Copies of this chain bind each other. A is one copy, B any other.
Amino acid sequence: MQPGDHSYLINGRHESLITPFDRGLAYGDGVFRTLPVYAGQPHCWLRHYRHLEEDCNALGIVCPSAALLREDITKLVDEKEDAVVKIIITRGESERGYAVPPLAQPTRIVSKAALPRYPEKFFKEGVALHLCEIRLARQPRLAGIKHLNRLENVLARMEWVDPQIADGLLLDEDGMVIECCMSNLFVRYGNLLLTPDLSFCGVAGVTRERILELAGRMDFDTRICHLRLPDLLKAEELLICNSLYGAWQVRRLVDRVWPRSTLAARLRSLLREDDAPVA
């Protein structure tokens, strides 16, 4: 966390600066991705890159090449090291004001941190969720994008301090279930695996996409749909997922408790495999 401690690169250099004129800071005008690196290899790299690029395109930001970002990761993470890498791409610097300069040069920030240590219990026994009071606003123009405007997530995460609670469930202003603060969500009814529609808000995570693909191979039917809280509480099983922990079973939400299941562990072991040749 100290400047110059070589835990990050800005535009490929340790010496570069983020100034107050960077639109990432001024307006949250940028996108990000967080991914694990195992033994120096960024996990599911090309898929993460594709999402990053799509998110940049959605905002009209020129995404740096996969090769350039891959090079930054190699510079930051040793050959045998495990780590979390976070990539932030901002629209770059501009003069004061919302107008986007025609020649904005994106700022590329790659930082690394230790892999998080989640309680072993979350993997073995599953997790409890907090039901967040804050409701997500519906903004179809930003829905699905992992952009830097994340105050809703910050306010949601401020709602609980109990370390036994793994994440917080977020509904939108109309009461639709969307996601958790740091995770996407799956709901199982028999062999039907449902995940919320993200057309109005929420972040479309890489692991959500991978589970939608893997579920087919596991003989589940999958569907992206509108879900409300009662639909979750009536379900046979809930799962949450992200790129760092893979998948966890939800054992407790509001007044509902679910029995243990093995699906999350089976998904974790499939998710742990890389899904494409490393670039």
Residues A1 and B93 in contact, CB atoms below 8 Å apart = yes
Copies in the complex: 2
Asked if A240 is at the interface (CB within 8 A of a chain B CB), the reply is no
Q: List 8 A-B contacts (CB under 8 A).
A: A8-B19, A20-B109, A84-B96, A86-B96, A96-B116, A97-B182, A98-B182, A138-B173
Interface string of A5-18 (1 = CB under 8 A from B): 00010100000011
A157 within 8 A of B: yes
Of the candidates A23, A24, A153, the one having the most CB atoms from chain B within 10 angstroms of its own CB is A24
Q: Is B20 a contact partner of A8 (Cβ separation < 8 A)?
A: yes
Report the bound CA distance from A95 to B112 in whole Å. Answer: 11
Task: Assess whether B17 is in contact with A17, with CB atoms less than 8 Å apart.
Answer: yes
Contact B20 A150 (CB under 8 A): no
User: Complex Cα distance A208/B149, Å?
Assistant: 25
**B residues within 8 A CB of A158?**
60, 100
Q: Judging by beta carbons under 8 Å apart, are B99 and A157 in contact?
A: yes
Interchain CA distance A210-B222 in the complex, whole Å: 55
Q: Quick check: which of A139-147, A188-196, A265-273 contacts chain B, the rest being far away? A: A139-147
A181 at the interface (CB under 8 A from B): yes
How far is A60 from B19 in the complex, measured between Cα atoms in Å? Answer: 24
A176 within 8 A of B: no
Chain B residues whose C-beta falls within 8 Å of the C-beta of A201 in the assembled complex: 137
Bound-state Cα–Cα, A24 to B173, Å? 25
CA distance A21 to B3 in the complex (A): 10
* 4 extra interface residue pairs, beta carbon distance < 8 Å, beyond A27-B150, A27-B153, A28-B151: A17-B17, A18-B18, A25-B109, A148-B151
For residue A139, which residues in chain B have a CB less than 8 angstroms away from its CB?
137, 152, 173
Q: Which residues in B have their C-beta under 8 angstroms from that of A97?
A: 116, 157, 182
Check if A25 sits within 8 Å of B25, measured CB to CB.
yes
C-alpha spacing A150/B148, complex, angstroms: 9
Contact indicator A10/B20 (Cβ below 8 Å): yes
Q: Is the CB of B88 within 8 A of A20?
A: yes
- Least Cβ–Cβ distance between A240 and chain B, in angstroms: 15
- Chain B residues with Cβ below 8 Å from A28 are 27-28, 148-151
